[in-house]
Amino acid sequence: MKKSEIKFTVTLDDNKMPEKIDWSASDAKAESTSKAVMIALWDTKEKNTLRIDLWTKDMMVDEMKQFYHQNLLSMADTFERATGEVEAAKAMRTFAQEFGERMNLVMKNNFYSLGKNI
């Protein structure tokens, strides 16, 4: 059985605030630095979601808004692929569109379909 490893290294300041987030993936044979990471894990035993949300202190508010908007769209795409629930995914994309409009990230009536701007 093949195994793959994803590793995160978080550098903290004296107040335990993230200064730097480095990550690497054994399959990619590459390393990178990020300003934010969201990890969601399904706990089979407890039947609930465990989350780790980290962002560095130099991540700008506008970057965080864009990060969330893109995550909402990505979750809709993943949900549709995993469940086949087209209408529910469409509702998620509609919410992402409304969120994007409120955050001035996208133009009004510039809707998304399957994660692609149409």
| SS3 labels along 22-65 | EEEECCCCEEEEECEEEEEEEECCCCEEEEEEEECCCCCHHHHH
- Residue ranges of domains in the chain: 1-57, 60-118
31-57: b or e for each residue (b if 16 or more CB lie within 10 Å)? Answer: eeeebbbeeeeeeeeeeeeeeeebbbe
pLDDT in tens, 58-116: 999 999 999 999 999 999 999 999 999 999 999 999 999 999 999 999 988 666 554 44
What's the predicted TM-score (pTM) here?
A: 0.84
- CA neighbor of 39 nearest in space, from 3, 11, 7: 7
Q: Which of 12-16, 30-34, 88-92, 101-105 has the lowest mean pLDDT?
A: 30-34
Find the Cα–Cα–Cα–Cα dihedral 60, 64, 69, 75, rounded to 10°. 150
AA letter at 54: L
The answer to whether 72 and 95 are in contact (CB under 8 A) is yes
